[in-house]
């Protein structure tokens, strides 16, 4: 397993461009299964999870033409549906979370979709009930063997549009059901749908393929089924989680960084949450300039009580940035309660920050209080292992702020979601190297 060796404690300077969005890429790549015609997608991040999903589609028989590491054409005109019954499929499908979204398109087009229990971050329970409840409402029957962690749906007649109220606004669940419903007969209404920008992007791409989806951007989606979809071209948005990661990195290291082409209209609460930590952000067109911060002071609520930052489904604050907000707060002035409502195992990495000298009380699996050090005491360098993608980047940010040499192990977690991160950070002046 590879490691990062980081000599931290020095400010960085320069411009950085966020990669294409990981979670959008995983959705729109799966959507290419809905048509036999070519679909070209650009601004795909060149990250491990995207490469694994592309390999999975190739194994299913999709013709894949790379134009660059970030642009591919997919043509799903000769799908080998029997591949779903192979051990190779079970192995590849289980390797990432995004693979679950092949089920909806395959069910809609070929009448069957299977998936082994998908991988992704081990950050707590990650149920698939919403996905399968939706497929069943569209007329599919449950198949597979949950005892073997292999789930499936099949139908012998075309899916039938219907009304459904989702139990929770699951992101991948909404994407999956949507991709099944576009080829169903009649009208499907999905209420309590996830509505984050990447779902909106998926809807726009599907409409450009001939689907008829309205209500985009809201939690009430209406889908008039069509009999077939055609090819299209699509460009992924900038990755908002990377944008947030770079804001936190800039503030804690006292750096002068401009995030170019940040996709500002699609960032939702992200700028305001970092401003609550006392961070100055200059938004200039689509760029975000973070000037060097000697200090930054966490706000209180209006009544003077301690700030809480918590996650919620969009348009709430994304859970994927709470670990980064937490690490950034360790060098702020003031205190904040971080409340991770969605996932129950995402905050345990704070032990490593405590070892580095951060003042944090882990109240319970969902909540941690950070008492900012206000740079009176820099974080100490450490050797640590990356437990999940966002905790991994948080540790990387902590290491870049710590005076001295830190080692981060298990960086495969970081590679799942951040494209060539050490090279891009070195261009900002970071002292970071990958050790095999
Ligand atoms: C590949 C991909 O796109 N992954 C993202 C996707 O995962 P994913 O689609 O797997 O996450 P879900 O939206 O299904 O749910 C995340 C967790 O939150 C819980 N939950 C969900 C909705 C809700 O209203 N209340 C609630 O408690 C679910 O039970 C689950 O435990 O969305 C998550 C939530 O933004 C992100 O962290 C993941 O990065
Ligand atoms: C939780 C995440 O990813 P995944 O859903 O792919 O595990 C994430 O991107 O923070």
- Domain-by-domain residue ranges, the chain? 3-19+238-435, 22-235
pTM of whole model > 0.90? Answer: yes
Fold for the domain defined by 22-235: UDP-n-acetylglucosamine1-carboxyvinyl-transferase; Chain (3.65.10)
> By C-alpha distance, which of 275, 174, 157 is closest to 223?
174
| ipTM at complex level | 0.97
For ligand 2, whether the C-beta of 121 sits within 6 Å is yes
Per CATH, the architecture of 3-19+238-435 is what? Answer: Alpha-beta prism (3.65)
User: Which ligand lies nearest the alpha carbon of 25?
Assistant: 1
Task: Answer yes or no: is 307 a known binding residue.
Answer: no
Pocket probe for ligand 2: among 23, 101, 176, 415, the residue whose CB has the most ligand atoms within 8 Å is 23
Residues with CB under 6 A from ligand 1: 23, 26, 97-98, 124-127, 168-173, 313, 318-320, 342-343
Ligand 1 nearest-atom number relative to CA 130: 14
Pocket probe for ligand 1: among 134, 172, 194, 198, the residue whose CB has the most ligand atoms within 8 Å is 172
Task: Answer yes or no: is 43 a known binding residue.
Answer: no
For ligand 2, whether the C-beta of 417 sits within 6 Å is yes
Task: Answer yes or no: is 342 a known binding residue.
Answer: yes
Pocket probe for ligand 2: among 119, 174, 389, 415, the residue whose CB has the most ligand atoms within 8 Å is 389
User: Which ligand lies nearest the alpha carbon of 24?
Assistant: 1
Q: What are the pLDDT tens digits along the chain (436 aa)? A: 899 999 999 999 999 999 999 999 999 999 999 999 999 999 999 999 999 999 999 999 999 999 999 999 999 999 999 999 999 999 999 888 899 999 999 999 999 999 988 766 677 788 899 999 999 999 999 987 767 788 899 999 999 999 999 999 999 999 999 999 999 999 999 999 999 999 999 999 999 999 999 999 999 999 999 999 999 999 999 999 999 999 999 999 999 999 999 999 999 999 999 999 999 999 999 999 999 999 999 999 999 999 999 999 999 999 999 999 999 999 999 999 999 999 998 999 999 999 999 999 999 999 999 999 999 999 999 999 999 999 999 999 999 999 999 999 999 999 999 999 999 999 999 999 999 8
- How many A from CA of 37 to the centre of ligand 1? 31
Task: Answer yes or no: is 13 a known binding residue.
Answer: no
- Same topology for domains 3-19+238-435 and 22-235, yes or no? yes
Cβ-based burial of 32 (10 A; exposed 0-12, middle 13-18, buried ≥19): buried
């Amino acid at each position: 397993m590879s490691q990062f060796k980081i000599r931290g404690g020095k400010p960085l300077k320069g411009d950085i461009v966020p990669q294409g969005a990981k979670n959008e890429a995983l959705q729109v790549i799966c959507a290419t299964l809905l048509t036999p015609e070519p679909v070209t997608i650009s601004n795909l991040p060149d990250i491990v999870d995207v490469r694994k999903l592309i390999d999975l589609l190739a194994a299913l028989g999709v013709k894949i033409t790379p134009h660059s590491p970030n642009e591919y054409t997919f043509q799903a005109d000769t799908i080998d549906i029997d591949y779903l019954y192979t051990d190779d499929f079970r192995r590849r499908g289980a390797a990432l979370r995004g693979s679950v979204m092949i089920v909806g398109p395959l069910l809609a087009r070929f009448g069957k979709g299977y998936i082994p229990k998908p991988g992704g971050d081990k950050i707590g329970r990650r149920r698939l009930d919403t996905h399968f409840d939706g497929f069943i409402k569209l007329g599919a029957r449950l198949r597979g063997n949950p005892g073997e962690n292999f789930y499936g749906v099949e139908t012998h007649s075309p899916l039938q549009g219907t009304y459904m109220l989702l139990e929770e606004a699951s992101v991948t669940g909404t994407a999956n059901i949507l991709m099944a419903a576009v080829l169903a007969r009649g009208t499907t209404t999905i209420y309590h749908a996830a509505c984050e920008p990447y779902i909106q992007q998926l809807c726009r791409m599907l409409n450009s393929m001939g689907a008829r989806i309205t209500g985009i951007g809201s939690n009430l989606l209406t889908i008039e089924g069509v009999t077939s979809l055609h090819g299209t071209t699509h460009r992924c948005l900038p990755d908002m989680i990377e944008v947030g990661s770079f804001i936190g990195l800039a503030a804690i290291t006292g750096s002068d960084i401009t995030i170019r082409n940040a996709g500002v209209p699609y960032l939702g609460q992200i700028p305001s949450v970092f401003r609550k930590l006392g961070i100055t952000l200059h938004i200039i067109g689509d760029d975000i300039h973070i000037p060097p911060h000697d200090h930054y002071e966490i706000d209180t609520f209006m009544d003077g009580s301690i700030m809480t930052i918590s996650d919620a489904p969009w348009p709430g604050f994304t859970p994927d940035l709470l670990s980064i907000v937490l690490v950034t707060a360790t060098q702020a002035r003031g205190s904040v309660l971080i409340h991770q409502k969605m996932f129950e195992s995402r905050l345990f990495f704070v032990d490593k920050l405590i070892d580095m000298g951060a003042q944090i009380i882990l109240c319970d699996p969902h909540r941690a209080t950070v008492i900012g050090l206000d740079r009176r005491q820099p974080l100490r360098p450490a050797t640590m292992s990356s437990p999940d993608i966002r905790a991994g980047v948080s540790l990387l940010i902590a290491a870049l702020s710590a005076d001295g040499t830190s080692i981060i192990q298990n960086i495969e977690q970081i590679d799942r979601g951040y494209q060539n991160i050490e090279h891009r950070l070195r261009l900002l002046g970071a002292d970071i190297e990958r050790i095999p």
